[in-house]
Amino acid sequence: MSRRPRIGLTLDVDQAGATWLLKRAYADAVLSAGGLPVPLPIQPSATGEWLELCDALVVTGGDFDIPPELYGEARRPGCGQARPERTAFELDLLRQALQRDLPVLGVCGGMQLLAVAMGGTLHQDLAAELDLAGHQQPAPKDLPSHAVEVAPGTLLARLVGAGELAVNSTHHQAVREPGRGVVVSARAPDGIIEAIEVPARRFALGVQWHPEAVARHQERHGAIYAGLAAAAGGAGR
């Protein structure tokens, strides 16, 4: 009997540094997709060992910004607090996973970090740079709040279908330049990038929204985690 694919989930830590944090929806989505969630605490010296243990990687979101120095820019007004230790660990995980062609899903800030890992850049603050509001969704965060247009012929379209898709993204930063070899697979009506992917990898997808949370209202989103689990496979590596 083949085992369930082991899918790593990056963890956050509380402000006191005393408790590892992971929203239950992430683990539930992996379980529903047939995978086995593996929590990944920040431990830079063990990055390679974590990836040897996992068949796929999910870089989760969080309430912090990616340091602009990582994509060659100075900090500008509107750029928020950072979690340098977590971001450095996740960036190392992402780069090594991509090098190994391990299936990867970046969620919210994880999508932005995927772009940075591929040499892309970010809008540090949509309001300050583009005078755009409306991308920070109020509670409840699991309800879809706006639509995106999924590009045909993309991995994302194969999973959820091309055309309009209702999503639940909440963010003040966004991908500006997606990076080398990266395809934009969904945009908001105002043109903001909401999903990216790397066609040269067997599964490397980033979404600005939270499919693990919105799937209870829009079943199509469950296909994203199902696709990740299918790419990971169930027989080990």
Determine the Cα–Cα distance for residues 45 and 13; give it in Å rounded to an integer.
Answer: 18
CA distances from 2 to 5, 96, 117, 233, 234 (A): 9, 26, 32, 9, 6
Closest CA to 89 of 45, 119, 121: 45
Is residue 108 annotated as a catalytic residue, yes or no? yes
> Is the Cβ–Cβ distance between 230 and 126 less than 8 Å?
no
Out of 123, 172, 210, 221, pick the active-site residue. Answer: 210
Contact in structure between 30 and 4 (CB atoms under 8 Å): no
Whether residue 69 lies in the annotated active site: no
In angstroms, the CA 68 to CA 8 distance is 26
Which one of the listed residues 90, 194, 197, 212 is annotated catalytic?
Answer: 212
Question: Given 90, 108, 123, 221, which residue is catalytic?
Answer: 108
Instruction: Supply the residues annotated as catalytic.
Output: 108, 210, 212
